[in-house]
Structure 1
Amino acid sequence: MASRPAPDIERLPATAPLIVAAGAALVAAVVILFVVGSIPLAAGFGAAALAIGVGSYAAARALPVRDGAEPAIDWSVAHALASMSSDALAVTDRAGRLVCANERFGALFPGYPAPPNLVIADWAAGQLGTAGRAAWRDGSASSGAFEAAGTKLTAHIIRVGDAMLVWRFAGVDAVDIAKQAQSLVAGPSGDRLGTAGIMVALLGADGRVRAANRVLRLRAMGDERAMIEGRDFTRFLTTDNFGIVRFEREGSSGTPLRVLEIPFIDGESAPMLVALLDEELTIPHPAIGDSATAHVRSLISLLPAGIALVGGDGRFVHMNDAFVRAAHVNPANPPLYPSDLVVREDKGALADTIRRFAQGAAHSMDMTVRFAEVPDEGVSVSIAAARGLGEAAVMLSLRDAGEEGRLKRQVAQATKMQAVGQLAGGVAHDFNNILTAVIGHCDLMLMRHAPGDSDYDDIQQILLNSNRAAALTRQLLAFSRQQTLRPQVLQLPDVVSEVSNLLKRLLGETVQLEVNHGRNLGPVRADPGQLEQVVVNLAVNARDAMLAKNPNGGGTLTIETLSVPTHEVRAMDEDVLPVGDYTALRVSDTGTGIPAEVLAHIWEPFFTTKEVGKGTGLGLSTVYGIIKQSGGYIFAESPKGRGAVFTIYLPVHAAAEPAKLPAASAKPVQGDLWGSGTVLLVEDEAMVRAVAERALARQGYTVLSAENGEAALELLAKADKPDLLISDVVMPSMDGPTMVKHVRKLYPDLPILFMSGYAEEQLRKSIDIDNVAFLPKPFSVQQLAEAARAILTAK
């Protein structure tokens, strides 16, 4: 027992030894109370110490005392009691001097300094000083945690009478206890527990295994000598929808387990003992009527909505099958906490909300979260307190999960695409009128300028850029499914063969093209030119993706045609694709693939991942519009670790070829464009009307023009019968088809040529009139002359 001697004390009155004896007895009682925690035992030690002190006082009174001699205080009892404690103990007097201390105090604080003047951090010394003053004032106090000699300590201080403070520094042996527990679990003591059927493990604060007995190693890993230290303990366990815990290695047929958590050391970072016991279940699943909790769980399991119960500790208690499917839970590795299911940005908000309801919040609330497996789709979660349901404290329900939520998102996407398509179609119609005027005036100017003229090249540049703008407009119309198509019955291999030579030039030398054709391919009905445009757009996108992945090595572009009979379509179980016979076209590459967050937007117009100025964002939207307008379906996939795969399904054509309107684009011989006769031209756009009028007049026709249908009828009432009526379809006041019906009452055999910036398919119902032809805008002067000549010669 190491201690400091008592300090010098001034000469006291005759009763001073008795007072000191009483104080020493009180100190002894307090120390034993700290050590043992028993009030009767502490009182007994105090009484014994007081008796010793009184006896010493009586003996001292019986003996003669020399003048100037100081009374000797016997601290042996206090020293003996202090040495019994595993904590560091010290006693200081009113003046702050150290009266005594045990050996543990000396080991932590060499030199036996008097608290609070210890060799520790300044802020910790300040805490001790504050706690000491509080103990003098209030009788007891405690300091915050601080570190000394590599160990975290907390000081607990008690005032003894009005003369002394007892300091106890706790926490010294916490690390030693953890080490002892670790050796006990992994040693013979753990083996003895294993023979009794108890599997035990020591876990760190991070949930990883520090030690485990042999029977637990055998059950968890299949080998009692396996290295389990450092592994995440939760990975060895699995929980089914009924909350039954089993070893993951044993699967659903394994023996159910009871998990006991034993926190034997205080503190957030302290290790924990976990014991596992085999538990026999007489009933495989909770039966209705056994208990309120089992009743509720059984009902929840039958509900189609996704519902889960969470305990007061924030862990899952139960989740039904609908919740497992909607939340994308892996049954082999179920999550412990709801926050484990969502993306990192939503973890804190969800955990805080569940904690608030677990602590007694009364009202339910909804919040939107994103599951980690599908981060692009928000799901509405309803959170409410669950009282009276056994260990459950919070109930979670997914309000927008499953098929209903997916259909809602599909309808919203379809509505958005339809609105954008209508906007694109309207813009393209007006733009086509402008381009018709620009192209027409360029053609008229080129008729007056020879190739050697100084203005010829400028006019050609204007015409070239106008045609590029017309191509862009056609892409907008294709996306909005308002493009004029000339469908034919054809074979997909023929289309691929026609475009293969062009693809080889587009792909370059570093990209290899592979073409594979299937057998028994059925014919399809589509516009061959537009299908070629589809293949070209997909190939160019694939080339860019492969060159982005490997600028020097390129890659492989594979184009396949295959037959997809009805039974294969039925086996696909695809909601969007109706059951039937299809001929498919598949385009795949070895590029970078399409990220999940981009895949949902690739069909939208003007959406592009390319650099500014290197893409219009209309390539894939054009492909989508052409395929949908042709009655087909297109799907995009991006398997992990592979490139993109686009699959187009076109219905096999079996019906007879329907009768078509006369093709206004049938080209007569170039020298036969001159004509004669009277042409009535009806066009509401003045610039288009002026160009068409001049173009027809230059070909030898007599042209009568009107700005709308009503003006045309008034003109016909005064003039003779024309040889040809050329009219716009969509006009204010009276549209073209309505006007034609009135004209046909006067002249039933009058040939009609409709022209419009909208697609023929879109206007087919309104122009369902015999002996009519259609000319899409924008058109050139030559195309207008060819169309007029073809109709007049066919009379």
Structure 2
Amino acid sequence: MAARVNSNGDAWLTQSRSGLVLPLLLLAAALSAGLVFYAIGSWLLAAGFAATILTIAALMSWYRRLYPPQLSDKEAIPDWTVARAAADASSMAIAVTDRAGRLVCASDLFGEWFPGYPTPPGITGDAALTESLSTAARAAWRDGEAKVAGVVQGALRLDVEVVRTGRAEDYLLWRFTPVRQPSALDDVNRFLTGEAGRQMGEAGVMAVMIGGEGRIRAANGAFLLRAAGRIDANITGRDFASHMRVDDKGRLFLAREEQGGLPLRLLQVPLKRAGQGNGVSASAQASAQDGPMLLLLIDEPAGGGGTSALSYIETLLSLLPFGLAMADRDGRVLFVNNAFARVAGLKPGDKPSYPGDLVVREDQAAVADAVRRFAVGPQMSGDIAVRMRDQPDEPIALSLAGVRGLGEAAVLLSLKDNSEESKLKRQVAQATKMQAIGQLAGGVAHDFNNILTAIIGHCDLMLMRHTPGDSDYDDIQQIKSNSNRAAGLTRQLLAFSRQQTLRPQILQLPDIVADVSNLLKRLLGENVKLDVSHGRNLGAVRADPGQLEQVIVNLAVNARDAMPEGGTLNIQTYGVPAIKVREMRQQILPVGDYTALRVSDTGLGIPPDILAKIFEPFFTTKELGKGTGLGLSTVYGIVKQSGGYIFAESELGRGASFVIYLPVYAGSDAKDVAPVKVPVKRSETWGTGTVLLVEDEDMVRAVAERALVRQGYTVLTASDGEQGLEVLAGNVTIDLLISDVVMPNMDGPAMVAQARRAFPDLPVLFMSGYAEEQLRKSIDIANVAFLPKPFSVNQLAEAARDALAMRPVAE
């Protein structure tokens, strides 16, 4: 056993010491006798003295054997053999380390998975994994146990559990347990041992699944009864070839049926991509070397004809859940089962003439060549990637296997139904792309808000020096108006990136639809009919009512544009309980209770190639100048930030539908909804006192400084947090701190956290181009006000006045 145990060396040392005791006693007795003889001169007394010493030593040795000393806990040597034997008997690997970080014990399986017996946590060269295991070790020393999931070691995926153990709790026990991965082979196993396997047996079909080494993994009752004599026989793990025999004519029989047995036909269905296989007369073990197989055996019909056998096979293939078809040597399709027709997009009862009829024109030659190659020559199997005619953008694997002895049938074809898998991949890719674009949009909106703040601020300052009727007044007012329009675009970008400030409330979707219905009737025009229906017993949702109204309006306007000749816009609300969500088998939508909002139209529909792009920002199918491409992307951002999900469904010529799922609010209205504080309106914006303005953007800092000075404040400025702290440490008393949030060197929250230590009552006003809701989650500083960018001169003055009002009044 290749285990490392330090106690082995201690045991050897103890044995070595015990072997030296007897020679030392004899030497001591001889020296004592010599000294006595030298002193007295009598050999008799000297011999008696030596014998006495040896007798006393023997008595002491005998006493220690009868009453061995009891070792203390610290002196006891741990025996790891029991733990090692238990670990080797299971499917997990163990390792034990002490407080000094040394490996004191490891199982054989640990050495197989991690060659060289490395000491945890440094079991691999992956620095990230080592750091993760080190963190788990520290947690285990502190809390008693820790876990790390999904450690990858070659082809293995392991879960690691670290436990503090030992009498003095001075060891760490590392348990490495393999994670069982789901496999299609498990589905075949359940198929053979379940009701379907029983029905196959009643139809006279014996079915066996063997591994790549040729050993049996599962079998149906018909094969167990004929091969082993009992339907409950356990033959798992035995060699399949040992149950078969081949006569001198090359016919295949069951080994148990030596006399009077019927010859068998063998059909091999590869369950994974396989290489070349041998013929029927060859060993089944040799034919399955490249991967597991499903073997189907039926009795050879009298006379050896292939027509009856083929009907047997067609009946069998129609029962299997895999997409299977058969073709002859000329490539003509003889049979397709229902699963194959569903994957290939065939209508019930339809059968293509050739496999190439199912694929795009560019792949037809490759399919025809593959069918001819597998139909003749040695029996083999393989895969090719093809594009189906009804789904040209999604490559799919077409598996082919040569079959023999089935009359006209020469090639077995298989298609894997990966439509759900492809749909999930597209949805994940879309979500990842939208998240990346959202981060970019949020950053662009932040920088753009700084520019708009300077433009709007300077416009306000110029308007203070002009009056209506001046030659420049209208031009300045136009600049400010366009800047406010641009600010609206940035708000849409923040909505798309899910960074806008929401004011969620507990509400009912039918109430929101009712509030916006009058507006929709004016927007839709006379050619579009509005049809609204509501379900019963709808659960309440938590969302911003203003943002939901924007969602409905955007969807309705898009639906109106999709119905140039008129039509009907349907808005429905209905409940979706958790049991229905589970039946939907939607990979993206978690199981739970939802209230749904469906907005559908009877317009032109959305082409499939465009449907996957409609939520992308700035993507639009409208004419130039008639759309920004931010409508649906804004809808997507609002729904996602509200905790919901949105899906689009469309068919060309039959309209489109957008379905929004919002989770039912499970809290209590009175307890979970904080009352909204309505600020007191005050018109006076003039003030006094000293204001410290910290802003890294020069243009924003300049316009804010001028605006505050005009309102009567004394303004000190700084370009980052470090300079702001230096000003606070000076001799000037600061009455109000106004700071940007995101700045180089030291940002606003870090500066305020340090400033509050020396000035706990200092009023703080944060200003930023990011959303207040997102910033408050990350700032985590009490008693601060917030001013979103872009802002006007008057808005800045009002915010400064309100922030100063937060200052506690001295008694």
Q: State the TM-score bracket (shorter-chain normalisation).
A: 0.5 to 0.7
Q: Describe the shift of the 1:299–1:327 C-alpha distance in structure 2 as closer, same or farther (beyond 3 A).
A: farther
**Equivalent in the alignment of 1:760:** 772
Offset at residue 713 of structure 1 (A): 1.0
**Equivalent in the alignment of 1:592:** 604
Supply the distance in 1 between the matched residues of 2:743 and 2:557 (Cα, whole angstroms). 39
Offset at residue 436 of structure 1 (A): 1.6
The aligned amino acid for 1:538 is L
Report if the CA contact (8 A) 1:315-1:336 is conserved: yes
**Equivalent in the alignment of 1:774:** 786
**2:402 aligned with 1:386, yes or no?**
yes
1:136-535 counterparts in 2 under 5 A?
Answer: 284=203, 286-288=205-207, 291-296=264-269, 299=295, 310-316=327-333, 323-344=340-361, 346-355=363-372, 358=375, 368-375=385-392, 377-382=393-398, 386=402, 393-394=410-411, 396=413, 398=415, 401-535=418-552
Q: Describe the shift of the 1:753–1:359 C-alpha distance in structure 2 as closer, same or farther (beyond 3 A).
A: farther
Offset at residue 384 of structure 1 (A): 5.4
The aligned amino acid for 1:411 is V
Report if the CA contact (8 A) 1:608-1:615 is conserved: yes
Query: Alpha carbon RMSD of aligned pairs, Å?
Result: 3.4
Supply the distance in 2 between the matched residues of 1:781 and 1:473 (Cα, whole angstroms). 19
Supply the distance in 2 between the matched residues of 1:430 and 1:661 (Cα, whole angstroms). 33
The aligned amino acid for 2:443 is G
Same amino acid, percent of matched pairs: 67
1:564-575 counterparts in 2 under 5 A?
Answer: 564-575=576-587
Q: Describe the shift of the 1:639–1:745 C-alpha distance in structure 2 as closer, same or farther (beyond 3 A).
A: same
The aligned amino acid for 1:466 is S
**Local SS of the residue matching 1:381:** strand
Supply the distance in 2 between the matched residues of 1:791 and 1:728 (Cα, whole angstroms). 15
Offset at residue 449 of structure 1 (A): 1.6
1:639-670 residue CA offsets vs partner (Å, 9 max, x unmatched): 5653222221212223256687998xx66535
Out of 556, 561, 582, which is 1:539 matched to?
Answer: 556
Q: Describe the shift of the 1:318–1:773 C-alpha distance in structure 2 as closer, same or farther (beyond 3 A).
A: farther
Report if the CA contact (8 A) 2:572-2:599 is conserved: yes
Offset at residue 386 of structure 1 (A): 2.9
Offset at residue 534 of structure 1 (A): 0.7
Report if the CA contact (8 A) 2:388-2:396 is conserved: no
Supply the distance in 2 between the matched residues of 1:618 and 1:362 (Cα, whole angstroms). 58
Gaps of 5+ in 2: 1-199, 208-222, 224-262, 271-293, 297-316
Report if the CA contact (8 A) 1:354-1:394 is conserved: yes
Supply the distance in 2 between the matched residues of 1:518 and 1:637 (Cα, whole angstroms). 21
Out of 730, 737, 741, which is 1:725 matched to?
Answer: 737
The aligned amino acid for 1:683 is E
**Local SS of the residue matching 1:766:** helix
**Equivalent in the alignment of 1:784:** 796
Q: Describe the shift of the 1:451–1:509 C-alpha distance in structure 2 as closer, same or farther (beyond 3 A).
A: farther
**Local SS of the residue matching 2:777:** coil
**Equivalent in the alignment of 1:621:** 633
**Local SS of the residue matching 1:520:** coil
Q: Describe the shift of the 1:384–1:514 C-alpha distance in structure 2 as closer, same or farther (beyond 3 A).
A: closer
Report if the CA contact (8 A) 2:539-2:575 is conserved: yes
| TM-score of the superposed pair, with normalisation by structure 1 | 0.58
The aligned amino acid for 1:338 is P
1:50-199 counterparts in 2 under 5 A?
Answer: none
Supply the distance in 1 between the matched residues of 2:264 and 2:777 (Cα, whole angstroms). 68
Range with greater deviation from structure 2 (439-448 or 334-343): 334-343
The aligned amino acid for 1:378 is E
Report if the CA contact (8 A) 1:361-1:385 is conserved: no
Out of 699, 717, 722, which is 1:687 matched to?
Answer: 699
Supply the distance in 1 between the matched residues of 2:797 and 2:641 (Cα, whole angstroms). 29
Offset at residue 308 of structure 1 (A): 5.1
**Equivalent in the alignment of 1:35:** none
Report if the CA contact (8 A) 1:695-1:781 is conserved: yes
1:287-330 residue CA offsets vs partner (Å, 9 max, x unmatched): 44874543549649699875655432223456677655543444
Report if the CA contact (8 A) 1:605-1:617 is conserved: yes
1:693-721 residue CA offsets vs partner (Å, 9 max, x unmatched): 22222222222221111111111111444
1:118-147 residue CA offsets vs partner (Å, 9 max, x unmatched): xxxxxxxxxxxxxxxxxxxxxxxxxxxxxx
Supply the distance in 2 between the matched residues of 1:678 and 1:658 (Cα, whole angstroms). 40
- Report the number of matched residues: 507
Report if the CA contact (8 A) 2:343-2:417 is conserved: no
Supply the distance in 1 between the matched residues of 2:614 and 2:443 (Cα, whole angstroms). 22
**Equivalent in the alignment of 1:739:** 751
Offset at residue 457 of structure 1 (A): 1.4
**Local SS of the residue matching 1:704:** strand
**2:629 aligned with 1:612, yes or no?**
no
Offset at residue 620 of structure 1 (A): 0.8
**Local SS of the residue matching 1:584:** strand
Q: Describe the shift of the 1:557–1:392 C-alpha distance in structure 2 as closer, same or farther (beyond 3 A).
A: same
Supply the distance in 2 between the matched residues of 1:722 and 1:285 (Cα, whole angstroms). 94
Offset at residue 631 of structure 1 (A): 0.5
Report if the CA contact (8 A) 2:397-2:416 is conserved: yes
**Equivalent in the alignment of 2:180:** none
1:764-795 residue CA offsets vs partner (Å, 9 max, x unmatched): 33211111232222222222222222222244
**Local SS of the residue matching 2:391:** coil
1:391-447 residue CA offsets vs partner (Å, 9 max, x unmatched): 555565557825444333332222222222222222222112111211221222222
Offset at residue 508 of structure 1 (A): 2.1
Supply the distance in 2 between the matched residues of 1:658 and 1:729 (Cα, whole angstroms). 29
Supply the distance in 1 between the matched residues of 2:589 and 2:804 (Cα, whole angstroms). 45
**Local SS of the residue matching 1:672:** coil
**Local SS of the residue matching 2:562:** helix
Supply the distance in 2 between the matched residues of 1:571 and 1:537 (Cα, whole angstroms). 30
Report if the CA contact (8 A) 1:637-1:646 is conserved: yes
Supply the distance in 2 between the matched residues of 1:654 and 1:581 (Cα, whole angstroms). 9
Supply the distance in 2 between the matched residues of 1:752 and 1:303 (Cα, whole angstroms). 71
The aligned amino acid for 1:434 is I
Report if the CA contact (8 A) 2:385-2:395 is conserved: yes
The aligned amino acid for 1:294 is L
**Equivalent in the alignment of 1:707:** 719
1:149-198 residue CA offsets vs partner (Å, 9 max, x unmatched): xxxxxxxxxxxxxxxxxxxxxxxxxxxxxxxxxxxxxxxxxxxxxxxxxx
Supply the distance in 2 between the matched residues of 1:680 and 1:754 (Cα, whole angstroms). 12
**2:661 aligned with 1:649, yes or no?**
yes
Range with greater deviation from structure 2 (347-356 or 534-543): 347-356
1:86-114 residue CA offsets vs partner (Å, 9 max, x unmatched): xxxxxxxxxxxxxxxxxxxxxxxxxxxxx
Higher-Rg structure is: 1
| TM-score of the superposed pair, with normalisation by structure 2 | 0.57
**Local SS of the residue matching 2:395:** strand
Q: Describe the shift of the 1:740–1:597 C-alpha distance in structure 2 as closer, same or farther (beyond 3 A).
A: same
